Amino acid sequence: MKRVRVLVSGRVQGVFFRWTCASLARGRGLGGFVRNLPDGRVEAAFEGADEDVDAMVAWCRVGPEHARVDEVTVEPQEPRGEREFVVSG
């Protein structure tokens, strides 16, 4: 079980990044969130089984079809026991 915070920059807003991310994360049973930031980046947190969290981080490096991912930063965090994955911002 682990949790990471991910910041994704590039053309990642207005390209269904959040909704695709949430669908994939929920399909893997992860907790956490995804949201747009005012500076144009997307922020996400994934919590759950190591392999599922790693798979979502790998997906963030590519994004959905119309996205252009320029940079991804990953920061380990302490798990919080979140079971639901939410979309905001």
Q: Where are the domains of the chain?
A: 2-75
What distance in Å separates the CA atoms of residue 78 and residue 19, rounded to the nearest whole number?
A: 25
Give residue-wise pLDDT tens across range 43-83.
999 999 999 999 999 999 999 999 999 999 999 999 999 99
Give residue-wise pLDDT tens across range 4-17.
999 999 999 999 99
41 tagged catalytic = no
Catalytic residue among 36, 61, 68, 80: 36
Give the start-end residues of each E strand in the chain.
2-11, 31-36, 42-48, 68-77, 85-88
pLDDT at 89 over 90: no
Instruction: List the CATH code of the domain at 2-75.
Output: 3.30.70.100
Catalytic residue among 5, 18, 41, 83: 18
Kindly state the tokens that stand for 61.
Answer: 């490096």
18 tagged catalytic = yes
What distance in Å separates the CA atoms of residue 50 and residue 1, rounded to the nearest whole number?
A: 6
